Structure 1
Amino acid sequence: MGKATGFIEIKREEAAERDPKKRLNDWKEYSAPFSDELMSRQGARCMDCGTPFCHIGTEINGATSGCPVYNLIPEWNDLVYRGKWKEALERLEKTNNFPEFTGRVCPAPCEGSCTVAISDPAVTIKNIERAIIDKGFENGWITPRIPAKRTGKTIAIVGSGPAGMASADQLNQAGHTITVFEKADRPGGLLMYGIPNMKLEKEVVERRIDLLRQEGIDFVTSTEVGKDITAEELKAKYDAVIVCTGAQKQRDLPLQGREAEGVHFAMDYLTASTKSLLGTKLEEGEWIDAEGKDVIVIGGGDTGADCIATALRQNCNSIVQFGKHPQLPLARTEDNAWPEFPKVFSVDYAHKEAEAKFGEDPRQYSIQTKKFVKDENGKLKELHTVQMKKVTDESGMFVYEEVPGTEKVWPAQLVLIAIGFEGPEQPVLQQFGVDTDNRKVKAVYGEFSTNVEGVFAAGDARRGQSLIVWAINEGREVARQVDHYLMGSSSLPSVAAM
């Protein structure tokens, strides 16, 4: 805990953000640096709650509650309050391989289940986490940890996102020799190309990858299983293989006019933007530009918000984000009680930026796209929508139906589809011959072994589209299982035991 009466005496203070209008002129992170004094005050708000629900790490009604990597949150909150930053870093690194990522892009389910949040704003756990790890790098406390000895065992990891990197980190520290294969030209998975710089600057990702390389992990990029190397080659060369390819098959919107020039998947748009910023030479047709265009983002989630922020920086003419659900309430409803993740209205960084530029929140709610319309040259010129309402059908189930008379035509030259992912891409799974269940790799959580001897799976490839903290959880857990498979026992920590 922090100060015994801190949660009573001290109000929650958010970390400062750069001015929304000014930050639209660059691609740097939108948040401003934290002060030690601010973080100390916020750490003091952590109460002596007896049972710290902030790190229960479970799912309630389909949403994550508490921290899935079981961060020792009350301990490092107290240490930050007392100014013991190095000790706080030691506690943080016991459970989380990459706090610099989670402290920036995790939706912070820990705060939703913070005990203070029963009646007051939660402790600023996410900001404190980021402050700890940033201070660790700034002060040179984070240095390469070279394993004292090697076991002689070799492991191939397919996919370099947070699950792949976490398993690589753990297994490398156990003394195994690790090679991570990545089909993109840079490692990092969605951390590199799926999340824009404004939320996660790529220097932060590259800094961690460089550290892992110094510790002995080999990253092999521009190498796709089934194209540049076969699954059989991997199984023959390595003692074990872990599939961490993520859930990157984007969900489509197969409507009339979908083939119009100007309708793109959100992830293709974000990837091309980041590649351009990093100086990567783009293939013809890969660049997607919002400049001067009326842009519509279909999908109300974080990826959609990232598309808004990117289009604004490309000087779009207008921006609208469609969501199929009604606007969320300002406070928890009776069916969304603590410690569930709070399903309440919030304003993301991108929405603040859009309002600063165009004078209004870009979001439209309870809206459904009916069709895309192209001009005589095959280019998108507009899309048609209708408002929806949520009703109860004869069986008592909630369904959506159209509201007559609410049809509308929207001018649009660029539409970005951001409605989630269907699961992992199937060709690589077929290469390994692993069984699938609802398109995901079939592997029991806690065991992570597939039907193919020596082949394991973890992260979104196994569980479906999820949070970065679940990816790190599974990366750590699969590492323990692979270590046990190779050595007969494992000294790697179990996430659930922390």
Structure 2
Amino acid sequence: MKYFKHESATSFDQAGEILISAKKGKKVAIAGGTDLIGVLKDKILTTYPETVVDLKTIDNSAYIKLDSDKIAIGALTKLKDLVASPELQAKLPIVSQAAKSVATPLVRNVATIGGNICQDVRCWFYRYPHEAGRRMNCKRKGGEECYAIHGDNRYHSIYGGMKVGPSSCSAECPAGTDIPGYMEKLRKNDFDGAAEILMRVNPMPMITSRVCAHTCQEKCNQCSNGDSVAISSVERSVGDYILAHTDKFYAKPATNTGKKVAIIGSGPSGLTAAYFLRKYGHSVTVYDKMEEAGGLSTYAIPNYRLPKQYVRSLVAALEGMGINFVLKTAVGEDIPISEIESKFDSVFFDTGAWKRPILGFDGEELTEFGLDFLIEVNSWMAGKVGKNVLVTGGGNVAMDVALTAKRLGAASVTLACLESEPEMPASKEEIARVKAEGITILPSFGISKVVRDNSDKITGMELVRCTTVRDDKGAFNPQYDYNEKQVVNADSILMAIGQKVDLSFLGEKYEMQLQRGLIQVSEETHMTSRPGVYAGGDVTSGPSTVIKAIKAGGIAAKSITGYLGVKAAPVTEDKGFLTYDVNGVKIKEAAKLTELPIEKRSIEAEDTQSLDLATMLKEASRCMNCGCYSVNASDLSPVLLALDAKIKTNKKMIKAGDFFTTKLKAYDMLEVGELVTEIEIPIYEGYKTAYDKYRIREAVDFAMVSMASIYKLDNGGIADVRIVMGGVAPIPLRLTNVEQFLIGKTPTDQLAEKASELAGAGAEGIGHNSYKVQEVKTLVKRLILSM
């Protein structure tokens, strides 16, 4: 065991001050029943306290006081005293019964009621000793997954799990999409619910599913069991569903705020901001210099990856919400920015990055800009079929340029980039696609100069070996070995090494803080240096991804709404337990989109087809819905919840229902320096109470399933009843559905049978623990038969 300091407190307030004086976790409190010493001894956690603050030295903190309508129990009252208390045995025998069921007399002699209700989980994955092999950094400890999903889960939850922060896939998504959340909705055949979750942060999943790199899949915990969940494919199906039901998902707001916002530029960030701003009830007008809205999604991403029909349908849906589009209008030329600012309450810039960067190498003027090539692809390639093309760049734009040139009939296409292949910013799928279509990739090569003949006609390009792209600090700083050069023969050279932002439309008099040629914004709000003026997308970051632009648009829309003095409606999230498909998570191979044969691919038709409904739902069933599936270990927690007790701290009073069910760890309800000082329990005259517990051994063991019950009969009927289960869910679980069913009815064999079935209706075994479902039903049935 690691060395730690020991401090004795003389009061709860003093103990709280000691805990507050250090960084969170550096000093922790200890009292009988928390098993802190066991945790330290077994080294199950990755971080350890430097100081342990002993609460057992606090005087007058162990007591059982009977009042006319309640019993107050000091937090440091030992469990043995709860067992022996005549007051509890007479008024609240359920408390004595639960205390007596804890471990052994030896443990009960030192364990306290405060420690018991604040103890940590007993899951064996969580508790696996470091000395026995290695500690298991599970989801509950801040790791990535719950090992019970694929492991021995005989003592785990049958009602589902709880979140422990964002899932690794959601954390990887720049927009923070609740991926497991919409996967769960799909498993329940709730397509509208899945769509609603997706559109909380992303109003265009039909686009992102086709163009996003989906690095979320690399973080999927199914990767350790087989293929990752095909998140992009499932998202694509949901996106197509949304587009087929635009009347539901792009509805006009019920009320209008009277505020007006202008969006300058209609890329993904601008369209996202427009969607959310309109949803909040504002009047929104979008200006764009191009003939069609959508930005580079419309003009630069090839049809075979993103058919234009999806962007056009999205824009039409946004128009249906009441968003006004003013196209073929260049702000700064056709209409002054000052005029827009005077007409609108707020302005959002999303003008993108369309300008060609100049590198300054010999012969650069003879090359073509890859983005221009994609925008004017058909006319640009006219008469050039059969030529040899060299593309420079390693991102997805470069892949699009290379594939498009190949499909238009270029005899050969070579792609050269600074990065080594594992470092290439393009997605793995796009890299594999260009290879499959016969395009040669030359990684780790930079541009030296254009090779030309005497008539100044391009014959190729000289490349130089790139040894490193970034320096030790991660900054872009390519280094070259000029002793290694290579000439690639080419008639056409397409430059796809990025784009620049063009801010010339702002004019010289428009005052706005810029940084490195970009509009500078607050990361938290996306407001510029001009009050009420916001910006997002490539114009603030340089060339980036669609999903990052979407995130910026969403942040800005919420910030603009606040700036305008309007309160945005809060997002309501589901509060139920997490669930997963026991059989689905065992499937190792991911679903694959159907692809056109290489010989049939073109620049017009989409390369892939969306999954059919059955395949999509099967793929959604593979999601592990990563959370914590352990169970609450405390015997007294279900009892206190059933009795509607109150937890008193040195700062406030907390209802047992809030203390035990709000968060996965009950003690997380306490602030730093806040300590449980007393438990206050109402006395229920005329009620009967009981605590039942199934376990392997009569002593020592924690509950596999337990039940705390309290009820009152009136003329033979059930006037009131509360039933709380322990050992079956991450928190003590009150069976409110069973309670509501029983009230007003007379206990009979038939009623007991129906109630037991109702109790088991929401429970489901997750592999090795199906027996718990029957135990829950049996306990409920026995309770009613005993009435």
| TM-score (ref. length: structure 2) | 0.49
Gapped regions of structure 1 (runs ≥ 5): 10-46, 58-65, 277-281, 330-342
SS of 1:402's partner is strand
- Is contact 1:7–1:116 with CA below 8 Å preserved after alignment? no
Q: CA deviation at 1:371?
A: 0.7
SS of 1:250's partner is coil
- 116 and 392 in structure 1: CA distance in 2 versus 1, 3 angstrom threshold: closer
Q: Counterpart in 2 of 1:355?
A: 436
SS of 1:180's partner is strand
* Distance in 2 between residues matched to 1:151 and 1:141, nearest whole Å: 21
Q: Which amino acid aligns with 2:450?
A: F
Q: CA deviation at 1:380?
A: 1.8
Q: CA deviation at 1:141?
A: 6.8
Q: After superposing the two structures, state which structure 1 stretch, 451-460 or 263-272, moved more.
A: 451-460
Is residue 188 of structure 1 aligned with residue 294 of structure 2? yes
* Distance in 2 between residues matched to 1:418 and 1:270, nearest whole Å: 10
Q: Write the mapping of 1:1-400 to structure 2, written as runs, cut at 5 A.
A: 50-57=164-171, 66-117=172-223, 120-138=226-244, 142=248, 144-260=250-366, 263-273=367-377, 276=378, 290-328=384-422, 347-349=428-430, 351-352=432-433, 355-356=436-437, 358=438, 361-390=439-468, 400=479
- 434 and 138 in structure 1: CA distance in 2 versus 1, 3 angstrom threshold: same
Aligned residues: 419
* Distance in 2 between residues matched to 1:251 and 1:6, nearest whole Å: 52
Q: CA deviation at 1:140?
A: 6.7
Q: CA deviation at 1:137?
A: 3.3
Q: Counterpart in 2 of 1:334?
A: none
Larger Rg: 2
* Distance in 2 between residues matched to 1:96 and 1:355, nearest whole Å: 32
* Distance in 2 between residues matched to 1:228 and 1:494, nearest whole Å: 39
* Distance in 2 between residues matched to 1:136 and 1:305, nearest whole Å: 29
- 392 and 469 in structure 1: CA distance in 2 versus 1, 3 angstrom threshold: closer
Q: Counterpart in 2 of 1:489?
A: 566
Q: After superposing the two structures, state which structure 1 stretch, 114-123 or 413-422, moved more.
A: 114-123
- 347 and 478 in structure 1: CA distance in 2 versus 1, 3 angstrom threshold: closer
- 289 and 208 in structure 1: CA distance in 2 versus 1, 3 angstrom threshold: farther
- Is contact 1:421–1:465 with CA below 8 Å preserved after alignment? yes
* Distance in 2 between residues matched to 1:463 and 1:313, nearest whole Å: 32
Q: Which amino acid aligns with 1:54?
A: S
Q: Counterpart in 2 of 1:42?
A: none
Q: Counterpart in 1 of 2:498?
A: 420
Q: Counterpart in 2 of 1:402?
A: 481
Q: CA deviation at 1:493?
A: 5.2
Q: CA deviation at 1:415?
A: 0.8
Q: CA deviation at 1:469?
A: 1.4
Q: CA deviation at 1:464?
A: 2.7
Q: CA deviation at 1:229?
A: 1.3
SS of 1:157's partner is strand
CA-atom RMSD in angstroms? 3.4
SS of 1:249's partner is coil
- Is contact 1:373–1:381 with CA below 8 Å preserved after alignment? yes
* Distance in 1 between residues matched to 2:426 and 2:336, nearest whole Å: 47
Q: Deviations over 1:238-258 (max 9, x none)?
A: 221111112333333321111
Q: CA deviation at 1:157?
A: 0.7
SS of 2:414's partner is strand
Q: Deviations over 1:340-399 (max 9, x none)?
A: xxx89975347535534x4xx521111122111333444322211233334999999986
* Distance in 2 between residues matched to 1:117 and 1:103, nearest whole Å: 20
Gapped regions of structure 2 (runs ≥ 5): 1-145, 152-160, 576-787
Q: Which of 443, 456, 477 matches 2:521?
A: 443
- Is contact 1:180–1:219 with CA below 8 Å preserved after alignment? yes
Q: Which amino acid aligns with 1:184?
A: M
Q: After superposing the two structures, state which structure 1 stretch, 459-468 or 173-182, moved more.
A: 459-468
Q: CA deviation at 1:115?
A: 2.8
- 6 and 467 in structure 1: CA distance in 2 versus 1, 3 angstrom threshold: farther
- Is contact 1:306–1:350 with CA below 8 Å preserved after alignment? no
Q: CA deviation at 1:453?
A: 3.3
Q: CA deviation at 1:208?
A: 0.4
SS of 2:559's partner is helix
- Is contact 2:331–2:505 with CA below 8 Å preserved after alignment? yes
* Distance in 1 between residues matched to 2:250 and 2:479, nearest whole Å: 54
- Is contact 2:356–2:499 with CA below 8 Å preserved after alignment? yes
* Distance in 2 between residues matched to 1:413 and 1:173, nearest whole Å: 51
Is residue 468 of structure 1 aligned with residue 572 of structure 2? no
* Distance in 2 between residues matched to 1:129 and 1:352, nearest whole Å: 21
Q: Which amino acid aligns with 1:247?
A: A
Q: Deviations over 1:48-97 (max 9, x none)?
A: 8854433554xxxxxxxx11222121122123234333332222222321
- Is contact 1:327–1:345 with CA below 8 Å preserved after alignment? no
- Is contact 1:53–1:115 with CA below 8 Å preserved after alignment? no
* Distance in 1 between residues matched to 2:552 and 2:185, nearest whole Å: 28
Q: Counterpart in 2 of 1:40?
A: none
Q: Which amino acid aligns with 2:480?
A: E
Q: Counterpart in 2 of 1:29?
A: none
SS of 1:270's partner is helix
